[in-house]
Amino acid sequence: MDALDHAIPALLARVAAAVILPRFGQLSAADTAEKTPGDWVTIADRESEAIITDELLRLDPDARVVGEEAASADPSLLDAVGHGRVWLLDPLDGTNNFADGREPFGMMVALVEDGVTQRGWIYDPVGERLCYARRGAGSFIDGKRVTCGERAGRAPIATYSNYWFSADQCAAIERTAAGVLDLRHGLRCAAAQYAALVDGTHDIARFERIYPWDHAAGSLFLTEAGGYLARPDGRPYALTDTGKGLLAAASRNMWERGARVLGMPVT
């Protein structure tokens, strides 16, 4: 263990307590804005990102920080994500849930070197649960090492969002899943979705948006626990990928089963 193993969890908990939780269910119309249709940002996103960014640069002055809100304002920040030492930050994942006064939502931080995630932290402010992974060293929930895999005695629970698919595609997914998968709608929060794949709540998850801050910490947490993820057509996933579509599962076999139902491209 080193200083970051203590500093990052403490930072996330402190910012959650000071900036995020006091505003949960208390936002006014002036505290929210729509970045693009259906994609919201709140004062809690902006304030927490500013605080965490400053602290990360103090802890690691030779690195760069790319946060969701900063990249939204300046998309060119994404151009160098695959080079050098970069902290990827999603200060409040699941903003739409948070803005509506409901769970889940979370905080995600990942340390990336030359495009490869080395460490990842996922923090649940409400439950005070910390998911952590370090490349080559495993995945942990609240300090206890965890693994994921296939759960006996039930159909695989798979999540996806019908928001991204046409009505015909949704109907085809539902037909194909019948008797094969227990199909449910996604959580609209990658932080919670990755945790659910590892703790056994879910088995398969289809994501559409693949911004690096949404998946750097979670993909490491999942794969270090024994899970698997790739693009829906089977191509390996990289943080520098663009476009849409990512399929994650608690095992490679689960991924294959999910791909047969959820592997179709978005139109």
Tokens describing residue 143:
């300090």
Verify that 169 and 216 share a domain, yes or no. yes
- Domain membership of residue 61 (yes or no) is yes
Q: What is the pLDDT of residue 152?
A: 82
Judge whether 216 and 230 are in contact, CB under 8 Å: no
Domain containing residue 195: CATH number: 3.40.190.80
For the chain, how many structural domains are there in total?
A: 2
Shared domain for 139 and 23, answered yes or no, is yes
38 near 112, Cβ under 8 Å?
Answer: no
Given the DSSP bridges, would you call strands 157-160 and 204-209 parallel, antiparallel or unpaired? parallel
Residue type at 207? F
* pLDDT given for residue 110 in this prediction: 98
Together in a domain, 168 and 254 = yes
Q: Are residues 106 and 221 in the same domain?
A: no
Between the alpha carbon of residue 109 and those of residues 81, 115, 264, the distances in Å are 14, 14, 30
pTM of the predicted model as reported, rounded to 2 decimal places: 0.96
Is residue 152 in some structural domain? Answer: no
Same domain, 197 and 106: no
8 A C-beta contact, residue 48 and residue 15: yes
The angle that helices 212-224 and 190-199 make with each other, rounded to 10 degrees, is 10
State whether 102 and 199 are in the same domain: no
Residue 131 resides in a domain: yes
Tens of pLDDT along the chain (267 residues) come to: 688 999 999 999 999 999 999 999 999 999 998 887 778 899 999 999 999 999 999 999 999 999 999 999 999 999 989 999 999 999 999 999 999 999 999 999 999 999 999 999 999 999 999 999 999 999 999 999 999 998 888 899 999 988 888 899 999 999 999 999 999 999 999 999 999 999 999 999 999 999 999 999 999 999 999 999 999 999 999 999 989 999 999 999 999 999 999 998 876
Q: Are residues 22 and 81 in the same domain?
A: yes
Residue 151 lies in a domain: no
Examine residue 25 and state whether it is found in any structural domain, yes or no. yes
Residues 19 and 106 grouped into a single domain: yes
For 91, the domain range is 3-146
Lookup: tokens for 25: 């269910």
